[in-house]
């Protein structure tokens, strides 16, 4: 007697020949070693992304873009809509956790050197996903049209405006004019709910396809061992179930944060008030913000912020292209040049972020 599931499978199998898929799922294995925990970070990020999509779609049912309606519609969601506060709070928290896990995923990939040949394109596509995730964060931050978001957007787009050569045009296209106005909000809404998701989906699909096609990266110490000395578990169901358990834990943490630390709405943006004291960008932009704050008004003949922007642009590009210029070295730990570069970058980000919150 076949179950309904088996019948359905047989129905599809007869028409589409699912044997390659079954073959793939049965043979996919995950290496077991002491750095294995980092394999879960990408999965957690993916889970949080799905949470973003679901809660984002729910928010769209009530959100109304526009300088006269955005803040009001958000207040309506928070105070009148059933569980509106919860959906919005999950969306905000999950966005922050997602960016956090993207960074963890990226640095763990860097330090385990999983970005090396043959996985260069997985690394590059991952970096593009990081850039898009930051774009999501930046564009989404403005949508409630509150004071903090208004000034963060003014500063952020002004920084984009000082990019050499194309800055001015970029600023006008981003803002929909010379100033941050309702036109900017409409644009950011289009970026946040249509353009970025479309581009993100393409790169996410590629990123996942690359991972599936090449399998999990093995750390260097395992690569010299004979096949029978390596330990591994099957992806399905063993690794998948562990993944699912972790997702459940992350979901619980997310709900805890969303319920006990709900996201604030703040005051409505007013283009004719002074920037309030204590204005801060989202924490993941803090290290860049803080660095710009430390730069003097002029460095040689250039404006300080232009130097800062060019520096971050070039550093980001170098980071994305790391698989192509990396220093090959057999050294381990802190004497390996790539580890030193990674540690300096990580330390810079962490220290500047902490300083940003203390100063």
Partner 1 sequence: MKTNRRRFLNLVIGGGLAGWLGSVLYPVISYLVPPKIPEAIVNSVKAGATTDFPPNSGKIIKFGRIPVILIRTNDKKFLAFSATCTHLDCIVQYRSDTQQIWCACHNGVYDLNGRNVSGPPPRPLEPFNVLVQNDEIIITKPTG
Minimum distance, C-beta of residue 143 to partner 1, in the bound complex (Å): 19
Count the residues of the shown chain that bind partner 1, applying the rule CB under 8 A. 31
303 is a contact residue toward partner 1 (CB under 8 A): yes
Structure tokens at 86: 């919860």
Cβ-Cβ contacts under 8 Å for 140 (sequence gap 6 or more) = 95, 188, 192
Whose structure tokens read 């964060």?
A: 137
Q: Does residue 179 touch partner 1 according to CB under 8 A?
A: yes
Q: How far is the CB of 271 from partner 1 (least distance, A)?
A: 7
Q: CB of 184: closest distance to partner 1 in angstroms?
A: 10
Task: Quickly tell me which residue has 């179930």 as its tokens.
Answer: 241
| Relative orientation angle of helices 147-161 and 283-294, to the nearest 10 degrees | 60
Of 12-20, 177-185, 207-215, 249-257, the window that binds partner 1 (rule: CB under 8 A) is: 177-185
Subset of 181-220 contacting partner 1 (CB under 8 A): 183
Interface segment toward partner 1; rule CB under 8 A; list 101-109, 126-134, 165-173, 223-231: 165-173
Element of type H or E holding 233: strand 232-234
User: Among 159, 250, 258, 322, which residue interacts with partner 1 (rule: CB under 8 A)?
Assistant: 159
Binding residue for partner 1, selected from 21, 173, 259, 315, defined by CB under 8 A: 173
| Cβ-based burial of 270 (10 A; exposed 0-12, middle 13-18, buried ≥19) | exposed
For residues 359 and 354, give the distance between their C-alpha atoms in angstroms, rounded to a whole number.
9
Residues 112-151: x/- map of binding to partner 1 (CB under 8 A)?
---------------------------------------x
The contacts of residue 324 (CB under 8 Å, 6+ apart) are 120
Q: Mask of contacts with partner 1, 259-288, x by CB under 8 A?
A: ------------xxxxxxxxx---------
Of 85-93, 170-178, 314-322, 350-358, the window that binds partner 1 (rule: CB under 8 A) is 170-178
Strand partners, 30: 233
For the record, the structure tokens of 5 come out as: 């599931």
Coil, helix or strand at residue 101? helix
Instruction: Tell me whether residue 119 or residue 187 sits nearer to partner 1 (CB atom).
Output: 187
Residue that has been written with the tokens 């960008």 in this structure: 281
Burial of 283 (0-12, 13-18, 19+ CB in 10 A): middle
Name the minimum Å distance from CB 187 to partner 1: 9
CA–CA separation, 67 and 142 (whole Å): 11
Q: Which is nearer to partner 1, 4 or 277 (CB)?
A: 277
Site for partner 1 in 316-345 (CB under 8 A): none
Q: Let me know: does 114 contact 121? Beta carbons within 8 Å.
A: no
Interface residues toward partner 1, by CB under 8 A: 151, 154-155, 157-159, 169, 172-173, 176-177, 179, 183, 271-279, 292-293, 295-298, 303-305
């Amino acid at each position: 007697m076949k179950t309904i599931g088996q019948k359905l499978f047989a129905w599809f199998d007869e028409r589409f020949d699912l044997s390659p898929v079954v073959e793939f799922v049965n043979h996919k294995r995950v290496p077991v070693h002491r750095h294995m925990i980092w394999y879960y970070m990408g999965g957690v990020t993916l889970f949080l992304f799905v949470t973003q999509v679901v809660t984002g779609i729910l928010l769209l049912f009530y959100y109304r873009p526009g300088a006269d309606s955005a803040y009001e519609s958000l207040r309506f969601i928070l105070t009148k809509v059933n569980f509106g506060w919860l959906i919005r709070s999950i969306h905000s928290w999950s966005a922050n956790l997602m960016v956090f896990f993207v960074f963890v995923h990226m640095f763990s990939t860097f330090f385990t050197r999983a970005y090396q040949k043959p996985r260069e394109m997985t690394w590059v596509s991952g970096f593009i996903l990081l850039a898009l995730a930051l774009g999501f964060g930046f564009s989404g931050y403005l949508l409630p049209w509150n004071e903090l978001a208004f000034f963060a957007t003014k500063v952020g787009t002004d920084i984009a405006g000082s990019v050499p050569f194309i800055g001015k045009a970029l600023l006008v296209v981003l803002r929909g004019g010379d100033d941050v106005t309702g036109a900017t909000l409409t644009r950011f809404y289009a970026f946040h709910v249509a353009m970025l998701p479309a581009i993100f989906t393409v790169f996410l699909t590629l990123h996942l396809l690359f991972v599936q096609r090449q399998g999990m990266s093995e750390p260097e110490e395992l690569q010299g061992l004979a096949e029978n000395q390596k330990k591994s578990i099957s992806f399905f169901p063993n690794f998948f179930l562990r993944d699912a358990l972790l997702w459940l834990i992350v979901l619980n943490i997310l709900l805890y944060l969303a319920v006990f630390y709900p996201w604030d709405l703040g005051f409505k943006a007013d283009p004719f008030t002074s920037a309030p004291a204590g204005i801060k960008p989202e924490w993941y932009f803090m290290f860049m913000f803080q660095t710009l704050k430390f730069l003097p008004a002029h460095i040689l003949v250039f404006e300080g912020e232009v130097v800062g922007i060019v520096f971050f642009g070039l550093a980001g590009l170098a980071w994305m292209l790391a698989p192509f210029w990396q220093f090959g070295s057999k050294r381990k730990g802190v004497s390996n040049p790539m580890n030193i570069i990674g540690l300096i970058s990580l330390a810079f980000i962490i220290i500047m972020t902490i300083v940003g919150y203390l100063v």
